[in-house]
Structures are given as C-alpha cells and as structure tokens.
Structure 1
C-alpha cells in the first residue's frame, strides 16, 4: 500500500533554536511518543510536588510566619484564582508552544520554590509567591493534558489520561512520603527546597526532550495507531489556513456542564490535598508526620487505580460504565467517611482502609472521564482541544477557590485552634497548680482579679493571705502571664474544640452533595455503554481508514502520471 509522504522537514536548527522551536512535523513512532508522554507525566508529578508541599508543612509554616489559618486560606484562594484566570487564557499555548509552557513554566515554579519561598521574609511575600506559582500551574494544568491528548490515540486515551492524572496524585504521594520521613529531622524550609530542586531537574529534562506536534498533525482525530499513516497523508495534503479555535466553538452543553460537574466531584479530593494534615492534627491531635503517612496509603492506591482503570477502559473501549459505577461507589464511601471522620475513636487503620477504597473508586471514574471529555471536545473540532480543556481547568480552579472560601466560613473553628490552641495548652499545663488553688475559692480570686496587683485594697489582701496562704498566693502570682493567656484565648479555643468536629462533618456532607451534582453530567459524555457495540464501531472505523488510505494512494498515483 502506498501512502503520501510525511510533511517536508524544515532545515536543521541550531541546538539553541530547538530549545524554543520544538514542533514535530510527523506523528512519532511509539518510542518517541511514549518518551514525550513520560516527560509530561514526570513534569506533572514534580509540579504538584511543589504546589502541594506547602499544605503538608502548613502547621510549622504558620508558626514560623506568625500566619493565621485565614491568611493561609487567602493565599490558597488567590493562588487558585490566579490559576483559574491562567487556565482560561491557556488557549495562548498554541502561540507560545504547549511544550514550552510545560517545560519553562515548570522551571519558573522550581526556581521560586527553591530560592524564594524558603527565604521569604514574611507572610505577605509568601502570598505573592503562591499567586505566581498558582498562575503558572493554571497554564500547565491545561497545556499538559492537551499534549497527552495529542500523543495518545483514542484507543489508548484513558490509559494515557490515567497516567497523566497520576501527576497530581503522585505529587501528593511524594509530598506525604517526604514530609513523613523528614519533618522530624528537617525544617519546613528544607522540605520545600527538596520539592523545588526536584522541579528544576525535571524542567531541564523537559526543556531538552519535550516536543510538540505540528498543528497539521495534532488537529486531527486519531482513534488508533493504525491511523498514523492516514494522519501523515492528510498532513501532506495542501490545506486552507485554519482559523485559531475560539472559546465560542466549545461553549456547548457537553463541554461546559461536565467540566463544572467534575469540579464539584473533586471537592473531597481538593479538601484532602489542602487540609487533610490540618484536619488530623487539629481534630485528632496527630503529629504532622502521622497525618502525612496516612496520605501515603491513599495517594498510592489512587495512582495505581488510575492506570488500571484506564487500561481496562481502553481494552473494553467504553467510558461511561466506569464513570457511573466509580461515581456511585465514591458517593457511598464518602457518606461513610462523613459519619466516622470526626469520631476520635476511629482508628488509624479504619481511616487508611476508607481512604484507600475511596481513592480507588474515585480513580475508576476520573481516568475514563478525562478520556471521554477530550473525545467530547474532539467532536466539535480537534483543533479546539486546548480551548475545551481551558474550560475544564478554569471550572476546576474556580470551584477550588469556592471550596477554600467555604471551608474558611463553615469550618471556622480551625483558626482559633491553629493560632492559639498550642499556647492555651502550654499555659494550662504550666498554670495547673495555680488553677487548682483558684478552683478552691473562685469568688475570692474573681474579686482579686478586678484590681492591678499593686492596687489591691489592704483588707482584701489580708483576707486573701488568711484564706489562701502567702506561699500559695505566690504560686498564683507566678502564673499571672499564663492565666492571662487562658483568660483571653481559653474560652474561644474551648468553643472551637467543641464545635470543630461538627463543622468538619458539615463540610464533608457538602462534598457528598458535590458528588451528587456530578452524577447527571455523566450522561453527557459521548460513547457507548456496551463494549460489544464499541468494538463494532472500532472495526467500522478501521475499515474506513483502510479505504481512505487506498483512495489517497490512488490519488497520489494519478497525480504522478
């Protein structure tokens, strides 16, 4: 069988030029294609290692910066908002180059994570750096899965998207592992430097090795690797210049509504990424290392399930059964978690088992969903893939911002406990003997507390010495500073400790509602429910590809006559 030749190759460029002009003018063989996919996944893992490292050391960092939980939430909120804006603007990636955005964006985040965040002089600088990192993350969030789509035919799309989505999950896992192994011997600054240094190394690899596909190649629908010859042949045909894809071209119900729906389904995941350590430290009195070790199990299970579900979805050639069954199972496990999460009698093993199962069933849904969503976009034009994924990135980041605001409002007890809980506990421990003395005659000490120490009426001072004793009064006097801390912050902290479990439980039920919002949008994902019918569709496509290749071969032969 004769096919049209690949696109003419441009003259060789210098090594420096190839660092910025990195388009491939042909659809690569499996080896180079897998190498590009591996670099994209590796870049995504290292990116989210850097993005997610701050929440893992949040408690230590807040103390170091004298930062309130509200300020930390504001930094997360503004970073997410910057990411939402960047994601919507990521259609510019075709002008800058998708590979350039991934490679040089990763380098930028790596540099500020390594050389700026650990040396930030104050919390305001930290906030600014969070916004900058969030903006670049929003660009990469859209450019990287678009490149995964470019280098993965539909028949392997769920596997490829599952591998790509292990980036955020494995990034979370690496954060949890590094934090749980090093926080007892390293500072929070060291942990952040580990993340940044990793990002710089991976960025250099991406700058050297990552490549884009030329628009004439990537702006076609590729169902299987059998389509490669047809893609090359079409790319060699003269074509009219195409308009740059617009946002309007993908403002369709089957693009916008699934993007919004899946954002709400990710509420629980976003909560655990940003707040799981704080939750277990504050509600269950765990050290940061133990909270991070719990996440090791959850993220590892989720990463494995993402790949496994993708492989099975591609083999059966269906998406929707996986999405629906995974979502229903996630809903059930999430309801169970909401009932046990704040119970102090819940064991570590129970938390591990619940979060592992939740990670697995959530991955069964999400990997095939990403594949099906890109296939939805392709129906409106493969050239519009990056614009459609920009809608998904924008919706996800905007919902993340809404979640950060909602958590700060609903789980309001975090702030007093994180800001003053340790001080109150320490003061209560040191002032224990004084509190015991005060408890014997609270009315007397209430009366004494109305006056400065050097202005106590003589008759009241004599009465106090007579009833309490001079030595015991000295014990109370020595604890004056601690008693002042308890008087100022003790009631607020006590109220927060009483209310916080119920507040967290309310939020977890909000996450359940988010999963319910997602369920109806499953039916907007195109494709078959039946593997048998999907196999018939694939066989029909293969016959059409062979027929079109024959037609192109005959056309090319006629032109040479």
Structure 2
C-alpha cells in the first residue's frame, strides 16, 4: 500500500473492498463523535474549574457554533479538494486537540480548547457522509447511512463505558479521559489513513444504482455550482423539514435524563436505563429499516410513517407528564418505542436527501451534507439556549409539546421531497427524480 494517504480510485470498487472503505467512513464518524464527548466528566470538570452549569452551557453553545461554521465550510471543501485529503490530517489534529484538553485550568482555557476541537472536528467530519454516499449505491444507501448514524449514537455509549470503567481506577481525574480519548483517536486515525480511499472526480460525478450499474453522469462541461443546488425547492424542504424534526431528537440527546428526573422523579440511574433502552432500539432499527427501505427502494413513505409514529408516542409522553406517578418500566417501554420510531424516519430521510441532492449534481454531495451539518449544529445551539429557559418558565411538558408540533411540521415538508411514494414493480425501473446538472 502506498504511504501517500490520498488514494484516488479510477474504477468503482466492488465487494469487500467497497465495504472496507465504507467501514472506515463509519469508524471515522464514530471516533469524531467520541472526541466531542464531554458529558461523562462534566460534574468533575465543573468542580475542578469552579464553574457553574450556566457558564458551561454558554461555553458549549459557542463551541457548537464554531463546529457549525466548520461543517458548512468543510462540506464545500470536500467537493473541491476531495474527502480523504481533508479527513485524515484533520482527524490527526483532533487527536492533538484532545491531548490539549489536559492543559485546561480555567473556564477561558476550556472555551478556547472546546472551540478549537469543535472547529477542527466539524470540518473533518463534513467528509464522512459524502464518503458514505460515494461508496454506497442507491440499492444499499439507506442501510449504509443507518450504519453511519451509529457513529454519533454509539459515541455516547463509548464515552460512558470508558469513563465508567476507568475513572475509578484513575482517581476520578477528568483529564485522564482526554488522554485516553486522544490515544484512541490517534491510533484509529492511523488505521483509517491506511485503509480509506477517495473516488476520482470523474467517479464522484456518477450516480450509481448498484456496484456495476451507473444511472447517470454529471455533464463535465458544466461546472458544479453551489447556487444550482440551493435553487431547488425540494433541497430547502429537506433542510427545513429535518431542522424541525431535530428539535425533539436534540432535546432527548442533550436533556433526556434531566427531563426524566425532573418530570417523573426517577433516579439518575433509572433515567440512564430508560435512555439506554431508547438508544439501543434506535441503533437496531436504523439498520433493519434501512435494509427494508433499500429492498423496496422507498424513502419518503417510510420516513413519514416513522415520524407519524414518533409524533403519536411523543403525544402520549406529554400526557404521561401530567400524571402523578408513572412506573419506570412504563417509561422505558415508551422510550424504546420512541427511539424505534425516530430511527424508522431518520435512515430513509438521509438516503432520500442524498439522492435528491445527487439528482441535482452528484459533485455537490459535500456541499449538501455541509449544509446539513451546519443546520444540525445550529439547532443544537438553539436547544442549548432555549430549553433551559422555556423549562424554567413553563416546564418540560410545554417544551415537549412544542417539540411535537415541530415534529409534525416535518410531514408537510416531506410532500416536497423527490422520490416515489409507491414501491416500483422492479428495482431496475427506478430512475433519478431530476436531470443531473439541471436547475428548476
């Protein structure tokens, strides 16, 4: 294998080679998400730096803003320079940022360290979703993106498990976790560098239905222009729709345990068990539903059904919040069903968004996913600022009801997405929804 980390392929890879490269992209998003995990050591960090939770929340929001800007910029750069050319060196740099966290002794230093890490990591991870698109033909794309989603979700488990196993052995030193994090990230980054590859610009311009069948190729005489992507209404419908959908998801990801403890008066351990059931079923459903979506070659109807089911379960949870006592087992089952429903919606949406952007111009995948990366982080900033204030004034029931309304608004937005509502008679009858390189 060549030592040059940028390996461009001039022929579309098949079989195990393609799967190995896809696995590296999934591993990259897992490690990138793990590097951003700080929740397991926040109590220790607050005590050591003599910092309030409000101050920590503000610092975190500023770091997320930096990551949002980086994701938008990085997405465009991956289209211009290539995915791997940015991914590998930036992953090595994020490992260095993890080690730098051990030098933090004041809230100001924490802000500088977290902003630097968020910016570098946001730009690095902007290339992972486009890589999944590049190496996953449409017949298997929803399942591939289901595995990609394991990265952000699995990072929660990885950080919690490592912290739980090592903190007691290392005198509850929060700095020890960043040494471990940096070491793991450095080793994995080197492994990825020697096993990942990039498609040549000519191959990235193709739309692949299967490993061996190309549906369309972008016109090489027409430059890839960002304004062409955002001139299409269905792209904006995707971004607005998923932005509203993310309100509930981010609420659960950022404040799930806190909401359960404060609303249902369960213990912190019980709240973690309930959220564990949510994430475990979410992970399993992502891959299972992705497989069904690929087999049927349907995206929109499956995503809408999942969203409608999630809305119904969320509505039930809002009702439960008005009851005096709810058993923990009841909450665990409700949480597991909600996690499943959200997974049913999310995996097919990712495939649908990728395919719709691909139909405009397959050379703009990085730009499209960069816009999504910016949006998702922007919504996280909104959640970090808005949730505590709304809950303080009106309670968790009001915020969850507002999240339910946002979730329901995803459904009318989905009417503007491109793609079939019914299963094609045969997979080979499916055609791209729009002419490649055209504008509406």
Matches within 5 A, 1:20-419: 21-51=6-36, 53-89=37-73, 90-113=75-98, 115-181=99-165, 186-227=172-213, 240=220, 242-280=222-260, 291-340=271-320, 345-412=325-392
| Conserved 8 A contact 1:317-1:535 | no
Q: Distance in 2 between matches of 1:92 and 1:100?
A: 10
Shift of 1:103: 2.5
Cα deviation 1:402-427 (Å, max 9, x = unaligned): 22121232234xxxxxxxxxxxxxxx
Q: Could you say which structure has the higher helix fraction?
A: 1
Shift of 1:352: 2.1
CA distance in 1, matches of 2:180, 2:327: 31
- Decide whether the 8 Å contact of 1:334 with 1:358 is kept in 2: yes
Deviation at 1:309, TM superposition (A): 0.6
Tell whether the 8 Å contact from 1:146 to 1:386 is kept in structure 2 after alignment: yes
How far 1:41 sits from its partner (Å)? 0.6
Structure 2 SS opposite 1:266: helix
- TM-score between the two structures when normalised by the length of structure 2: 0.89
Q: Give me the whole-angstrom Cα distance separating, in 2, the residues matched to 1:524 and 1:177.
A: 41
Deviation of 1:56 after TM superposition, in Å, equals 3.3
Gaps of 5+ in 2: 433-440
Provide the alpha-carbon RMSD of the alignment: 2.7
1:136 Cα deviation from its structure 2 partner: 2.6
Q: Number of residue pairs matched?
A: 429
Quote the offset at 1:330 in angstroms.
0.5
| Residues 352 and 103 of structure 1, relative CA distance in 2, 3 Å threshold | farther
Q: CA deviation at 1:277?
A: 4.1
Q: Is the 8 A contact 1:259 1:396 kept in 2?
A: no
Give the gaps of 5 or more residues in structure 1. 1-12, 413-498, 543-561
Report the counterpart of residue 435 of structure 2 in structure 1. none
In the TM superposition, what is the alpha-carbon distance from 1:339 to its structure 2 partner? 3.4
Q: How far is 1:537 from its partner? A: 6.1
Aligned to 1:523: 415
Secondary structure of the residue aligned to 1:104 is helix
| Structure 1 residue matching 2:208: 3-state secondary structure | coil
* Aligned equivalents of 1:285, 1:63: Cα separation in 2: 25
